[in-house]
Amino acid sequence: MPISLHVNGEQHLVDVAPTRRLLAVLREDLALTGAKHGCGEGACGACAVLLDGRAVVSCLLPVAAAEGRELTTIEGLGETAAALQEAFVEEDALQCGFCTPGQIVSASALLAAVDRPDREEIRTAMAGNICRCGAYPKIERAILRASGQVVR
């Protein structure tokens, strides 16, 4: 069944089952492999994308639920992601890097909503993003840095 998706500013028509998971369509049909397949159960945040500006996990979402809505993947984040990526590097906020695209997608949704989030707001917003390497304190500092706050 043809489904129309608006991804990173471009329109795509994909012929897939409406119940197919959005993550699979992004990675396999649209070659957007930035969102990662981690747990596949909605628990780790590695597959996070923005749906109408809100961070959602794409591994559980049927593709039909994204039809007619604005989808943004890590590839389409632009300047916000660039600032966050730079801050992640400066703060050494990644080890294996597998969780990083999802972390940056969630952090960009936070920074779009709150200019200068405090640590508590960061922890709340990032609670759905698991880092098996345990880089949490550095991820928090990277988000503080990206939002122009002094990092101690």
- The footprint of ligand FES (CB under 6 A) covers 37-40, 42-47, 57, 59, 94-99, 131-133, 135
Pairing, β 54-57 against β 10-15: unpaired
Nearer to ligand FES, 51 or 99 (CB): 99
Q: Which residue lies nearer to ligand FES by CB, 39 or 65? A: 39
| Least distance to ligand FES, CB of residue 129, Å | 9
CB of 58 to ligand FES, least distance (A): 7
CB nearer to ligand FES: pick between 9 and 134: 134
- The β-bridge partners of 137 are none
Strand partners, 116: none
C-beta of 44 vs 107, nearer to ligand FES: 44
Q: Are 65 and 22 in contact (CB under 8 A)?
A: yes
Phi, psi of 114 (to 5 degrees): -135, 120
Contact 66, 22 (CB under 8 A): yes
Inter-residue contact 14 to 29 (CB < 8 Å):
yes
- Please say which residue, 78 or 97, places its beta carbon nearer to ligand FES: 97
Distance of closest approach, residue 103 Cβ to ligand FES, in angstroms: 7
3-state secondary structure of 6: strand
Shortest spacing between CB 138 and ligand FES, in angstroms: 9
Q: Is 132 left (phi over 0), alpha (psi -120 to 50) or beta?
A: alpha
- To ligand FES, the closest distance from the beta carbon of 10 in angstroms equals 23
